[in-house]
Amino acid sequence: MSLTERTPAGEVRSDQVGREVDLYGWVHRRRDLGGLIFIDLRDRSGIIQVKFDPVNAQAHATGGELRLESVIHVRGPVQRRPPGTENKELATGAVEVEARSVTILNRAQPPPFAVNEDNPVDEQLRLRYRYLDLRRGRMARNLQLRHRIAKAIRDFLDDEGFVEIETPVLIRSTPEGARDYLVPSRLKPGYVYALAQSPQLYKQLLMVAGMDRYFQIVRCYRDEDLRADRQPEFTQLDLEMSFVGEDDVLDVVERCFAYIWEKVLGNPISTPIRRITHAESMLRYGVDKPDLRYRLEIQELSPIFARSEFKIFRQALDAGGVVRGLRIPRTVGTKEIEALTEVARGEGAKGLAFWHREADGWRSPITKFFSERELTDLQQTMNAEPGDLVVAVADRVEVAAPALGAVRKAAARMLGLINAGIFEFVWVTEFPLFERSKETGEITAAHHPFTSPRPEDIGLLDDQPLKVRARAYDLVLNGTELGSGSIRIHDPELQQRVFQGLGISREEAERRFGFLLTAFRYGAPPHGGFAYGLDRVVMLAAGEETVREVIAFPKNQQAEEPMTDAPAPAEPKPLRELGLQLLRPPAPPTP
């Protein structure tokens, strides 16, 4: 049997009236009027109404047996609907198909949740019956949007002269960054592969290979805890270019996004995307991924209070800290101030100073501690209108900035300043090359160890490594980090110095990255690139809150796949073949 004569349900139009068509699809809804029976038949293309008239006795009898989500084949003529019975909600609403014959290809049990509407359903249940969930409008739309975005990316980069090249998934573990998923080698017992966290080293080697402009839509694996925007396996758009500087990379990436937003979403973004340095972002927004959908900005207040009598400010400033403030453009009640204070405390601040602005001056429990001059200067800087609230944090800069960043975000939500459907892209540039690990206190790579320092900062590498800025940049959309990139080091000597800064000895560097250092001695072009999370891009484009809504078969927070119940207990035979032994028997599966 061939189904080549299949007519897509959603594409039947009045110009086909009188034509006999073959429809194949699912029973989306049924309306049994006793005599006439109407069925909404659904396939991926859409929905059409099928009419079962008692005149066609056989078909009508079968029509009476149909149940939701059964799969059927209907044959019959396309008919114009009688005047007044057209359905303007449906693309096919001017016509219907009269079933002259109908075959039930698969009788469906009642589904565990309604497939013909997008009402909320427990997510674990949706994931257990994901194939039903994917039939629903929301997921079907999201997956098709994802496809169109991926295609737009490929079309755009192909036009720009990029070549899509696949790189290995089973790779050598490089114990940097996230925890690896390990795959034991059967042929070399005791040896392991890691699943690639990203194609980073391979794409750089492709540049050494002269590939010039590479990209890949590639699955990446990181064994870390899950979040609304994080899955253990996720998809990245990865690209790399030779003979370029920062501006070349940023230009290609932002034109790529402009292309997606225009072609796929029909919602053009303004380019060039604005840029902000990392230092400025930390100062003005308290984060390295600012949400610019709202305008609240943090202000430096330290100079104003440089000689303040107020003990809390005094102590912070004397200890080399800062006082920074945020104007909240609305009257905020005591309860809300308490909530904001909790937010600040959650980020390590000891508290939140606040002043209400009134027509004739400041009102606050702490006003009495400040001089007239200080209060005037405060108004000068904050530009508060009567009714506004000004809050401030005094602490070390590493505490004050993120605390106010969190308060800014909470205040924006509290005041309803965030409009849905707005897309505010921003580049964050000049990231530091290194950062100090909160855990171990050691210096680690802020981006990755192949990131080039800015030439003017190379002199600081040995003495003040934390001051060295990198040729690294992040792309941020609505406060979500989409991705990051950098200009890479292509000089083996400079690479060695950066390894040294990271406390990686020459021997260790040679052992772990020798292949890269060697490659760089055979003619490595200057190169740089970028990578961004496709799941996150689609999530934001679709207006979804989690990446699970744009992934066909995602993992839950325990990194389980509830439909197949992966992961499953290890079986003895494959373990033996791999030369592995379990220290502990697997826990019994939880029901």
Partner RNA sequence: GGCCCCGUGGUGUAGCCUGGUCUAACACGCAGCCCUGUCAAGGCUGAGAUCGGCGGUUCAAAUCCGCUCGGGGUCGCCA
Contact set for RNA, span 54-93 (CB under 7 A) = 54-55, 67-68, 81-82, 84-87, 89-90, 93
Segment interacting with RNA, rule: CB under 7 A, options 163-171, 388-396, 445-453, 519-527: 445-453
Residue 177 interacting with RNA (CB under 7 A): yes
Q: Which two tokens stand for residue 47?
A: 């929905």
Q: Tell me if residue 203 falls in helix, strand or coil.
A: helix
Are 531 and 239 in contact by the 8 Å Cβ rule? The answer is yes
Q: Identify the residue among 32, 338, 342, 442 touching RNA (CB under 7 A).
A: 32
- CA 587-588-590 angle, to 5 degrees, is 110
Residue 176 interacting with RNA (CB under 7 A): yes
Identity of residue 129: Y
> Least distance to RNA from the beta carbon of 347, Å?
9
Residue 18 interacting with RNA (CB under 7 A): no
Residue 180 interacting with RNA (CB under 7 A): no
Residue 557 interacting with RNA (CB under 7 A): yes
Residue 33 interacting with RNA (CB under 7 A): yes
Of 81 and 263, CB closest to RNA: 81
Question: Per residue in 159-172, is it b (16+ CB within 10 Å) or e — as a string?
Answer: eeebeebebebebe
Residue 34 interacting with RNA (CB under 7 A): yes
Q: Identify the residue among 6, 8, 22, 38 touching RNA (CB under 7 A).
A: 38
**H-helix or E-strand containing 79?**
strand 71-80
Residue 173 interacting with RNA (CB under 7 A): no
Q: CB-based contacts of 170: which residues, under 8 Å, 6+ apart?
A: 183, 193, 194, 195, 196
Q: CB-based contacts of 49: which residues, under 8 Å, 6+ apart?
A: 38, 39, 40, 41, 81, 87, 90, 92, 93, 96, 97
Residue 248 interacting with RNA (CB under 7 A): no
Contact set for RNA, span 309-368 (CB under 7 A) = none
Are 509 and 521 in contact by the 8 Å Cβ rule? The answer is no
Closest CA to 150 of 213, 217, 198: 217
Residue 558 interacting with RNA (CB under 7 A): yes
Q: Identify the residue among 71, 91, 171, 226 touching RNA (CB under 7 A).
A: 226
Residue 225 interacting with RNA (CB under 7 A): yes
Of 28 and 356, CB closest to RNA: 28
Q: CB-based contacts of 86: which residues, under 8 Å, 6+ apart?
A: 93, 94
Of 135 and 548, CB closest to RNA: 548
Q: Which residue has the tokens 């449906």?
A: 90
Q: Identify the residue among 449, 485, 501, 529 touching RNA (CB under 7 A).
A: 449
Residue 556 interacting with RNA (CB under 7 A): yes
Are 165 and 218 in contact by the 8 Å Cβ rule? The answer is no
Identity of residue 292: L
Residue 567 CA: distances (Å) to CA of 48, 555, 571: 41, 10, 12
Residue 589 CA: distances (Å) to CA of 125, 566, 568, 569, 575: 17, 10, 8, 8, 19
In the beta sheet, which residues pair with residue 51? Answer: 38, 98
Q: Identify the residue among 5, 14, 35, 574 touching RNA (CB under 7 A).
A: 35
Segment interacting with RNA, rule: CB under 7 A, options 9-17, 173-181, 185-193, 282-290: 173-181
> Least distance to RNA from the beta carbon of 120, Å?
5
Of 39 and 157, CB closest to RNA: 39
> Least distance to RNA from the beta carbon of 471, Å?
14
Residue 184 interacting with RNA (CB under 7 A): no
Q: Is 191 left (phi over 0), alpha (psi -120 to 50) or beta?
A: beta
State how far the Cα of 275 lies from the Cα of 473, in Å rounded to an integer: 10
Of 112 and 137, CB closest to RNA: 112
State how far the Cα of 165 lies from the Cα of 433, in Å rounded to an integer: 29
Residue 45 interacting with RNA (CB under 7 A): no
**H-helix or E-strand containing 147?**
helix 137-159
**H-helix or E-strand containing 131?**
helix 130-133
Residue 447 interacting with RNA (CB under 7 A): yes
Segment interacting with RNA, rule: CB under 7 A, options 133-141, 446-454, 458-466, 520-528: 446-454
Binding mask 94-133 for RNA (x = CB under 7 A): --x-------------x-xxx----xxxxxxx--------
Segment interacting with RNA, rule: CB under 7 A, options 10-18, 225-233, 374-382, 387-395: 225-233
Of 91 and 375, CB closest to RNA: 91
* Site residues for RNA per CB under 7 A: 29, 31-36, 38, 40, 49, 51, 53-55, 67-68, 81-82, 84-87, 89-90, 93, 96, 110, 112-114, 119-125, 174, 176-179, 197-198, 200, 222, 224-230, 437-439, 444-449, 546, 548, 556-558, 560, 590
